[in-house]
Every structure is written in C-alpha cells, then in structure tokens.
A and B are shown apart, each in its own frame.
Chain A
Amino acid sequence: MTAMRWRRAWRLPTLPGAENDVNAITTHTGRPTDQFLLGARMFIPLAISVGAYGLVWGVLARQSGLSPAEVALMSTLVFAGASQFVALEMWDPQALPVGAIVFATLIINLRLMLMSATLRPVFKRLKPWRAALATHFVTDESWAMTMAEMARGRGSLAYLLGAGSLCFIAWLVAALAGHLLGSAIDDPARYGLDFAFTATFLALLLGMSKGKADIVPWLVAALAAIATARLVPGNWHVIVGGLAGSLVGAVIETRRERPDVA
C-alpha cells in the first residue's frame, strides 16, 4: 500500500515532500536522543488536544465512580482514549460488567493493530519483546505523526517514543486533573453534566466523519443499538451496534472498490 493510500484512509494531511512511497522509507536520522526530543517537540500541539480529551475523560471518570488510583492505572496500562471513554459509559461500580467492558475494549482498539503493523520498519532493529513493549506508545496521535515522518523518508523508534511519551504524560496528568475537577461537583445532573457523556461522544463521532460514506454505517449502528438497548439489558447495544455498523461499512466500501464483485 502506498503512502498516499494510507493518508487517505486515515485522514492525514498531506505534508510537503510526503509524496514518497512508504516502501522507500529509512528508519534512521540523527542520534536517538535528538530524535526523541524532536518527536516530543513536534507533539506539543497535539499534546494540548490530548490534554483537553484527558481532562474531559477525567471529569467523566469521577462521575462514573472511578477512584484516582483507578484513573491512573487505567490511563497508564490501557492508554487508549476511545476505549477508555466507552469503558466509563459501561462502568457501574456496584455491578461492573467486566466481560462486556473487556470485549468492547477489544473491538474498539482493533484498529491499533493496523497502526503498529504499519510502524514495523521503526521496530526492525529491536529484539521482538522490546518491540512489543514499545508498541504501547502507539496511539492515534503518535502513530499519525510517526507515519508522516516516515512518509518523508525519516521517522525512527526514538521519534515514536518521544511523541508517545509526551502523549502519555499529557493524557495521564490531564485525566488526574479532570478527576480532581470533577470531585468539586457534587450533583452532576443538577448542572446538566449528566449530558456531558452524550455530548462528548457526539462530538467525537462528528470529528471522525469522512463524509457521505459514513451515513449508512452510522445509521445501521444507531438503529441496531437502539433496538438492542430495548431488548437486551446491560451494555451489549454498544457492541451489537458497533459490529453491525462497521461490518455494513466494510461491505459497502469493498463493493465500491471492486464493482465487478456482485
């Protein structure tokens, strides 16, 4: 797959000088320390938006009944924003649906597999177990930045780790700050804060839109989820709707790419 295809697929901006093929990438440039600091420095604008995300997540985490220790542990060990938002929605401290939460996390984070797979060139000089540990720093944001570097013929493990480390610090600090902020609010529903979940998810959803191609899959997901929520207790509507919508999206997309397939 070419660099152009990837950028289109993941909605990355085309950067000047980024027209080279991914196959042509090298994985070097500069001392590791410089690369680490460069990755961290380039990440600063993104760290601000990750911080805003983290702040919202922390406030909602407090509302869902997570303790500061749980906030820190989840943000450190899971470190995947979308799945952490969904986990909060399903979180009920009195009767925690552990199986559903773990399964939803698996489904939502599957895309990270494609991301660390495309970063394989930067891991190639590492022992496999070290490379596996390094993939923990692959997030939507650090991946996008490192891919952009690779498309320009640069990009390295240290660059990924620099970007990923700043991403991690921003996420963790903001989440804990959000939790602190959230504990200042005694009755969330009185201030309309119970609506913060729905509003946040709607904004996240709209931010993911790639245009008309999303309408049918999202509609299928919405209708399947509404029907499941009526019929099945618990939070399975998230998984049923998510699977139904994404499968329909994939069917439509692959049929469009190959019109000869009936």
Chain B
Amino acid sequence: MRNRQSAIRPHGHPAVAVAALLLFSVPAWADGNPTQGKSKSAMCEGCHGIVGYRTAYPDVYPVPKLGGQAADYLAKALQDYKSGARAHPTMRGIAAGLSDQDIADLAAYYSDPGKRAP
C-alpha cells in the first residue's frame, strides 16, 4: 500500500485517476509488421529520415525523431492526425491516406531504433 501511495502521490493530480481509467478503455490497434512498415515509409523519410530536418509550416522546429519510439504512441499519433485530433497540417494530410494496417506497420517499423544517427 505504501509503495502504491508513493508512486502516485508526487503528482497528486486528478490526471492520474483519469489515466487509470484510460488504461482500460484504449482501443487495441492492429498488429504491425515492421517489414511492411519499411516498404511504406518512403513518405516519412523525406522529413523524419534527415538528421535535424526542420518543418517550415506552421512553425519552424526540428521534426521529431521516430527511431525507437514506443509503437503504441506512434500509432496513436498517426490515428490522432488522421482523425484531426492533432492539428499539424502536413501530418494530417499524410495520415489521411493511411489505413489502420498502414499505421500499425509504420509504428512497428519505427519502434525499432535500428543502427541510425542518434
């Protein structure tokens, strides 16, 4: 009991309770195939495959690194762009054309960091 308390207390935040509820309500994504993902990654590489590449619109900042990212988070990010929950115009355009299987495959491919630039 004491351990559980100490894990939760530092936040002391209602968000922790919300997160606990979410644990049981997140939809299961399709299983991804990293080999299929690689063959679908051409449209990602033009930005995410270039070290330090910067977006130009709507704000200028370096695009996020994807290599080694958590697969479920990558899938959620793409689903959120597809649904419009996330707003970046370029990513919304790209995600709009992806099926659930494409998203799962890309997430599986990028979740493996490979031997690439840090």
- Do these two chains interact? no
